[in-house]
């Protein structure tokens, strides 16, 4: 009986090429020759009886070659089977001597960042986070007011300050007895003292600049840039 599948290609006079496949269910011997001929003749109507006999002769020769293997070939097959590695589904080797050839490839790029592993022992203290209420009332300890420069610096006095800014502002020195009076002035106070609008705005402008950390600088009317009237 043939255990393997045998494929035979034969050129016939009326057809190009046909392939006869003999499965394991087909027994090829002399006793069942008529049964084999009928089977092939019914499935392959193009072949004659003489051609079928030739086919069986060829198949019998092939089966003899497969059965009559030399002992050397059997020994070589056993050696090859022993060398083959048996690996189970978990990747463990069962009595294998040689390692499987593994081809390493670079990992595919991903959008997920590769973060370092944290191997330190976690404690309860590390997981406690101090909570601060953002709506809690501000106290003296945690409240820091907006810092502004109100103290005199670089040797400036009230008189030198008003002289430096120009525009005839030094004529109003008598309104400010101390430096704090100049820093705490307001539009209402200057208006009550009958200071002109132009000089009043100029003094308030440079007082604010001083609180922001800028020293006064004299800008003449010829060097100043006229503001564009956008109220038309």
pLDDT digits (tens, 9 = 90+) for 192-220: 999 999 999 999 999 998 888 888 877 76
Position with higher pLDDT, 90 vs 119: 119
pLDDT confidence band for 229 (50 / 70 / 90): confident
The range of the structural domain enclosing residue 204 comes to: 158-211
Can you give the pTM of this predicted structure?
Answer: 0.35
Does residue 223 sit within a domain? no
Contact 49, 84 (CB under 8 A): no
Q: Residue 142: its pLDDT value, please?
A: 58
pLDDT confidence band for 155 (50 / 70 / 90): confident
pLDDT confidence band for 56 (50 / 70 / 90): confident
Domain count, the chain: 2
Q: Residue 37: its pLDDT value, please?
A: 47
Does residue 174 sit within a domain? yes
Q: Residue 188: its pLDDT value, please?
A: 92
Position with higher pLDDT, 92 vs 223: 223
Which one, of 207, 134, 108, 197, lies nearest residue 164 by Cα? 207
Percentages of the chain per state (helix, strand, coil), in multiples of 5 = 40, 5, 55
Does residue 200 sit within a domain? yes
Does residue 14 sit within a domain? yes
Does residue 56 sit within a domain? yes
Residues 33-46, mean pLDDT to the nearest whole number: 48
Does residue 88 sit within a domain? no
Does residue 165 sit within a domain? yes
Does residue 123 sit within a domain? no
């Amino acid at each position: 009986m043939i255990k393997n599948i045998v494929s035979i290609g034969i050129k016939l006079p009326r057809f190009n090429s046909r392939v006869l496949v003999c499965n394991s269910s087909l027994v090829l011997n002399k006793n069942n020759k008529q049964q084999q001929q009928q089977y092939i003749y019914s499935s392959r109507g193009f072949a004659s009886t003489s051609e079928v006999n030739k086919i069986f002769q060829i198949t019998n020769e092939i089966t003899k070659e497969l059965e009559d293997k030399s002992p050397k070939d059997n020994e070589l097959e056993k050696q090859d089977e022993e060398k083959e590695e048996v690996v189970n589904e978990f990747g463990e080797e069962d009595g294998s001597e040689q390692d499987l050839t593994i081809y390493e490839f670079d990992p595919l790029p991903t959008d997920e960042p590769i973060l370092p592993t944290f191997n330190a022992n976690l404690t309860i203290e590390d997981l406690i986070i101090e909570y601060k209420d953002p709506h809690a009332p501000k106290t003296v300890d945690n409240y820091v007011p907006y810092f502004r420069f109100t103290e005199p610096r670089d040797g400036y006095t009230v008189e030198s300050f008003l002289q430096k800014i120009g525009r005839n502002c030094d004529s109003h020195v008598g309104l400010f007895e101390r430096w704090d009076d100049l820093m705490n002035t307001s539009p209402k106070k200057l208006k009550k003292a009958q200071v002109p609008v132009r000089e009043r705005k100029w003094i308030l402008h440079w007082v604010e600049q001083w609180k922001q950390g800028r020293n006064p600088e004299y800008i003449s009317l010829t060097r100043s840039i006229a503001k564009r009237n956008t109220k038309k």
